[in-house]
C-alpha cells in the first residue's frame, strides 16, 4: 500500500487567491506564544515568528495560527455559494473519503481551459458517488512562482454540468475550477462553483503531487477541520494506492 500526500504546505505569509481582496488582506500568520527561553531562541534561529507577548517561562511550545479558510489545500462546502447551504462541519464523510478516479489533463498548459469535451475525450469512466481528481500538475510546476494564479489552467463553464450528470460526490483539482472567477468576468449564467455546490458536490481545491500517483483509481481521504458554520476549511488530503 502506498500513501501519497496531496497537500500543499502551509507557511506563514502565504496567501489565497490574489484576485480577491479579502484573501490579500489575510496572509497566514503562525507565531509561537509559549516556550522556554532556550526553546524560543532555537525556534527563532530556525526562522519561526515569536509573538511579542510570548510566555517565555512556559514548559512546552505553544503556537497561534491565523488563517483564511481558503488557504492552501482546502475543502469548500455548499454554504460557500448557496444561501443556507450545508456548512463544512456538516459534510458527510462519505463525500470526503472514498473511491476516486484520476482524470489526466496534463496536456493543458498555461492559461488553457479544460472543457466537458476534454473530459469526454479522456475516456474516463466515473461512477455515481465517486470522487473525481482532475490532474494538470500545475501546482507542482508553478506553486509559489510569479504568474501561478494568472496563468493557472481552469475549468470551462460546461465542466460542472459534466460532473453533475455523473452524480459525483466531490471534485478535487490542482487547477482552478471557474473561468469566470479566474478572469474576474461578469457572467449571466451560474458559476461552476454555484453549480457544483448547488448539487451537493464538494470542492477539494489546491491539491498537489498528482504526478506521484501510479494508478488511475485510488482511495482519497480529504478531511477538513470541523469548523462550525464555516463555508470552507484547510484540509489534509491523501491518496491511498493498494
pLDDT at 201 (0 to 100)? 98
- DSSP string of 215-236? -SEEEEEEEE---TT-SEEEEE
How many domains are there within the chain?
A: 2
Answer whether residue 16 is part of any domain: no
Answer whether residue 19 is part of any domain: no
Contact (Cβ atoms closer than 8 angstroms) between residue 57 and residue 34: no
Answer whether residue 20 is part of any domain: no
pLDDT at 145 (0 to 100)? 86
Other C-beta atoms closer than 10 Å to the C-beta of 184 total 8
Taking the alpha carbons at both ends of the chain, their separation in whole angstroms is 4
Answer whether residue 201 is part of any domain: yes
pTM value is 0.93
Same domain, 60 and 75: no
Q: CB burial class (10 A; 0-12, 13-18, 19+) of residue 70?
A: buried
Same domain, 87 and 142: yes
Per-residue pLDDT of the chain (242 residues; tens, 9 = 90+): 999 999 999 988 886 666 666 656 678 999 999 999 999 999 999 999 999 999 999 999 999 999 989 999 999 999 999 999 999 999 999 999 999 999 999 999 999 999 999 999 999 999 999 999 999 999 999 988 888 888 999 999 899 999 999 999 999 999 988 876 766 556 556 789 999 999 999 999 999 999 999 999 999 999 999 999 999 999 999 999 99
Q: Going by DSSP bridges, is the β-strand pair 170-173/154-155 parallel, antiparallel, or unpaired? A: unpaired
Order of strands across the sheet with 29-36?
A: 49-55, 29-36, 57-66
> 37 Cβ partners below 8 Å, 6+ apart?
56, 57
Same domain, 34 and 98: no
pLDDT at 27 (0 to 100)? 83
Helices (H), the chain: 21-24, 37-45, 116-121, 138-142, 148-151, 159-165, 179-183, 192-198
Gap between the Cα atoms of 153 and 149, Å rounded: 9
Q: For residue 88, give the 3-state DSSP assignment.
A: helix
Which residue from 215, 212, 206, 216 is spatially nearest to 237, judged by alpha carbons?
206
Same domain, 86 and 195: yes
Distance of CA 161 to the CA centre of its chain: 20
Write out the three cell numbers for 113: 481551459
CATH number at residue 180: 3.50.30.50
Residue 50's domain comprises 29-66
Same domain, 170 and 188: yes
pLDDT at 26 (0 to 100)? 74
Same domain, 105 and 60: no
Same domain, 95 and 163: yes
pLDDT at 193 (0 to 100)? 93
Gap between the Cα atoms of 36 and 11, Å rounded: 23
Amino acid at each position: 500500500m502506498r500513501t501519497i500526500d496531496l497537500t500543499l504546505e502551509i507557511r506563514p505569509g502565504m496567501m489565497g487567491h490574489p484576485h480577491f481582496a479579502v484573501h490579500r488582506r489575510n496572509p497566514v500568520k503562525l507565531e509561537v506564544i509559549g516556550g522556554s527561553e532556550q526553546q524560543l531562541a532555537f525556534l527563532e534561529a530556525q526562522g519561526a515568528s515569536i509573538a511579542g507577548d510570548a510566555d517565555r517561562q512556559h514548559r512546552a511550545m505553544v503556537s497561534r495560527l491565523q488563517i483564511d479558510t481558503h488557504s492552501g489545500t482546502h475543502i469548500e462546502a455548499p454554504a460557500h455559494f448557496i444561501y443556507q447551504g450545508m456548512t463544512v462541519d456538516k459534510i458527510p464523510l462519505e463525500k470526503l473519503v472514498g473511491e476516486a478516479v484520476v482524470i489526466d489533463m496534463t496536456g493543458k498548459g498555461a492559461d488553457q481551459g479544460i472543457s466537458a469535451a476534454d473530459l469526454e475525450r479522456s475516456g474516463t469512466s466515473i461512477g455515481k458517488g465517486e470522487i473525481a481528481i482532475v490532474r494538470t500538475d500545475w501546482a507542482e510546476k508553478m506553486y509559489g512562482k510569479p504568474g501561478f494564479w494568472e496563468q493557472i489552467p481552469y475549468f470551462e463553464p460546461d465542466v460542472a454540468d459534466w460532473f453533475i450528470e455523473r452524480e459525483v460526490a466531490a471534485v478535487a483539482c490542482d487547477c482552478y475550477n471557474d473561468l469566470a472567477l479566474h478572469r474576474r468576468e461578469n457572467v449571466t449564467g451560474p458559476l461552476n462553483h454555484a453549480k457544483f455546490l448547488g448539487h451537493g458536490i464538494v470542492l477539494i481545491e489546491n491539491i498537489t503531487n498528482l504526478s506521484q500517483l501510479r494508478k488511475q483509481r485510488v482511495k482519497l481521504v480529504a478531511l477538513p477541520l470541523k469548523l462550525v458554520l464555516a463555508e470552507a476549511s484547510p484540509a489534509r488530503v491523501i491518496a491511498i494506492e493498494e
